[in-house]
Structure 1
Amino acid sequence: MVAIQVVICVSLLLVQGALGGGGSEWTYTGQHGPLHWGSMFQSCAGNRQSPINIETLNVKQEYWKPLSLKNYEKAPSRMRVKNNGHSAQVEIDAPVAPRVSGGGLKGEYIFAQFHFHWGADSTLGSEHTIDGVRYPMELHMVHYKGSYGTLGEAVKRRDGLAVLGVMLEVSNSDNPALAPLATALLNVTDAEMYAEISAMYPLKAFLPRNIEKFYRYEGSLTTPTCNEVVTWTVFDEAISISERQLEFFRSLHPSELEEVPILVNNFRPVQPLGPREIRQRNKLVPRTMVACTPF
């Protein structure tokens, strides 16, 4: 079978090509940084923005079926990493496209790419925070709704994208699944560079073992143009990464517009939750009332 390319060769992180927007002027520093995105892009000033702080004591329990991950256990036929000037973005080719459904999602979503956000040191880096705790890195697996046909059409719809958010925490040992990617980053130090990843792990290797506990809310892209079209799934359990591996990410160079020499702190500050609800999957089946017959 000829491999199906499951990425669209534009920066899906930015979604600029799909939107037809100019949007490359934004940065994480200076006058085009996150504090100014709202005045530069109307959507970035919306009331359903991401990321947010997840307060675990203020979540609504839902009794959804488990997430269904199709083809996540199959290694891709090709894997590439790109330094797009804002992040390290990984794209794959696969005979059958990975898909996610269930878990309260309304429909099936097709995998597009995954990318990372990280800090200058391990005290910060993630975009979402959980009870105010910021992790050193966050991985985003981006999917678009299959019924809309294309990414370009999906980003026009309120439920067009589904993103799986995975926190990374520091471990004393390297994460084997991240090792080939970390090595490939040596070949993409400058913005707009691509490199092949030599050993290809299935997408499942980049998810936590426990995917049953997660948080769900309606939000946006965390980069301009901040379209409010994302159903977020943020896992409670983190995966590991070593300090040595983090340094490979911290060695990348950003776009020329950034006012710093290295690509770090590429995360948006948390946004107001407002009237939105954060939901959490509870795998326990709610008890039903049982009628007792008196003796």
Structure 2
Amino acid sequence: MVFYSEKYNNFNDAANQADGLTVLSFLYQATNEENGNYKQFENNLPKVHNLSSYTAIKNFVSLTEFTINNKNVYFTYKGSLTTPPCSEVVTWIEFKNTIPLSHEQIQAFRLLAGQGGQLTHNFRPVQLLYDRVIYMNSPSHIFRIDNTFMIINALVSLIYCNITK
């Protein structure tokens, strides 16, 4: 899910600013069981089979039901768009917990068409980390992750200060 900052007039203006966009990224896990929360979405996929087609879904499930219940554990970092021009204008929020989808539900998404035909292997190769800092948010821990180390930040400091007093 892509959001743009309200301080910019529209998506295109925001996409040209270092703090313009935020992406909530949810990962999927292939399972043998169907995810009932995706049924309504899945049933409408044939209506948007081709690029630039759209449909309205009435009485759609809530965002919480459609994604994951525990949104407290996530990684965040400054990164880029995954499509050209790949500008470094995105604050990524990557959730640790995955959304289960059956193999058949994943296949329904693969039947959608993009510019190059069916949407298979439509991913950007892994990018180098360079000097990027990745933070992990967790209810019980706050982490800072970079190329060489992990620091258990505020919680450990708080515990240490309380023990040494």
Q: What residue number does 2:161 align with?
A: 289
Q: Give the aligned partner of residue 149 of structure 2.
A: none
Q: CA deviation at 1:193?
A: 1.9
Any conservation in 2 of the 1:189–1:252 contact (CA below 8 Å)? yes
Measured at CA, do residues 274 and 267 of structure 1 come closer, stay the same or move farther in structure 2, by a change above 3 Å?
A: same
Q: Which residue number in structure 1 is paired with residue 62 of structure 2?
A: 202
Could you tell me whether the CA contact under 8 Å between 1:180 and 1:198 is conserved in 2?
A: no
1:213–1:282 CA contact under 8 A, matched in 2: yes
The offset of 1:189, in angstroms, is: 2.1
Bigger helix share = 2
Q: Does 1:270 align with 2:142?
A: no
Out of 240, 250, 253, which is 2:113 matched to? 253
Deviations 1:69-96 (A, max 9, x none): xxxxxxxxxxxxxxxxxxxxxxxxxxxx
List aligned pairs for 1:150-161, cutoff 5 A.
150-161=10-21
Answer yes or no: is 1:172 the counterpart of 2:37: no
In the alignment, structure 1 segments of 5+ residues that lack a partner are 1-140
Q: Deviations over 1:32-71 (max 9, x none)?
A: xxxxxxxxxxxxxxxxxxxxxxxxxxxxxxxxxxxxxxxx
Output the CA distance in 2 between the equivalents of 1:201 and 1:249. 18
* TM-score, normalisation: structure 2: 0.80
Q: What's the CA shift for 1:185?
A: 1.0
CA–CA distance in structure 1, aligned partners of residues 108 and 25 of structure 2: 21
Q: 5 Å matches for 1:76-225?
A: 141-225=1-85
**CA displacement at 1:199 relative to structure 2:** 4.3
Relative contact order (alpha carbons < 8 A, sep ≥ 6): 1 or 2 greater? 1
Structure 2 CA distance, aligned partners of 1:153 and 1:182? 33
Which consecutive segments of 4 or more residues in structure 1 shift more than 3 A? none
TM superposition score normalised by structure 1: 0.47
**Alignment partner of 1:226 is 2:86:** yes
- Identity between Structure 1 and Structure 2 (%): 33
Q: Deviations over 1:146-197 (max 9, x none)?
A: 2224222211211111111111102222212211111111122222222232
Aligned residue pair count: 148
The residue number in structure 1 matching 2:136 is 280
Gaps of 5+ in 2: 141-154
Q: CA RMSD in A?
A: 1.8
Give the CA deviation at 1:288: 4.9
